[in-house]
Amino acid sequence: MRYEKPRKSAAHPAETHFNPKTERCRTRVFPVRVSESNPCCARTRASRVGQNFRTFQRFSFSSCLSQLGPASGITSPLPESLGYHRRRPRASKAPDQTARVILLLKVRYMVSVIRELAADDTNNATALSKLALKILILESNLKRETDAEQPAKEFTFQSLKDFMSSNLSDISEDDMFDWQSFIDGLTEGTNITLTMNDVVFVRNPKYFIELQAQMINVPLEEFQQFIWWKVVEILIPHTTTTMARFKSSFFESIFPNLKKPSRKEVCMDVTKTFMNLPIAYEFYVRDDLSVTSVKVRKMLSQLQRAFKGMIEESKWTDRVTQQVTSKKVDAIKAEIGYPEIFETPEELEKLYEHIEIREDEYLQSMLDVKTFEVASVLQEWGKPIVTNHSLSILTDPLEVNAFYSRLHNSITIPAGILQMPFFYKGVDIVNYGAIGSILGHEMTHGFDIEGKNFDVNGKKT
Domain edges within the chain: 2-261, 276-453
pLDDT score at 78: 58
> pLDDT of 130-184, one tens digit each?
999 999 999 998 887 676 667 788 999 999 999 998 888 888 888 889 999 998 8
> How is residue 219 annotated by DSSP?
-
Dihedral sign, Cα of residue 398, residue 235, residue 131, residue 218: negative
Distance CA 194, CA 53 (A): 17
pLDDT score at 393: 66
pLDDT score at 236: 93
Closest alpha carbon to 407 in 34, 167, 66: 66
Count of helix runs (H) and strand runs (E) in the chain: 17, 10
pLDDT score at 62: 36
pTM: 0.69
Task: Decide the pairing of beta strands 356-358 and 403-405.
Answer: unpaired
Distance CA 300, CA 55 (A): 45
Architecture of domain 276-453: 3-Layer(aba) Sandwich (3.40)
pLDDT score at 335: 93
pLDDT score at 375: 82
Determine the 3-state secondary structure of 8 from DSSP.
coil
Helix (H) or strand (E) holding 281: helix 276-284
Question: What tens-digit pLDDT sequence spans the chain (461 residues)?
Answer: 443 333 333 333 333 333 333 333 333 344 444 333 333 444 444 555 555 555 454 444 333 333 343 333 334 555 554 444 444 445 444 455 578 888 999 999 999 999 998 876 666 888 899 999 999 999 998 887 676 667 788 999 999 999 998 888 888 888 889 999 998 888 887 788 889 999 888 988 888 998 999 988 899 899 999 999 999 999 998 999 999 999 999 999 888 888 888 889 988 988 888 889 999 999 999 999 999 999 999 999 999 999 999 999 999 999 999 999 999 999 999 999 999 999 999 999 988 888 888 888 889 988 888 888 888 888 777 777 665 566 666 788 999 999 999 989 999 999 999 999 999 987 888 999 999 999 999 999 999 998 999 999 888 88
pLDDT score at 150: 73
State the Rg of the chain over Cα: 25
Cα–Cα distances in Å, from 310 out to 8, 191, 404?
65, 51, 21
pLDDT score at 82: 47
Q: Do 362 and 238 meet the contact criterion of CB atoms below 8 Å apart?
A: yes
pLDDT score at 447: 94
pLDDT score at 66: 32
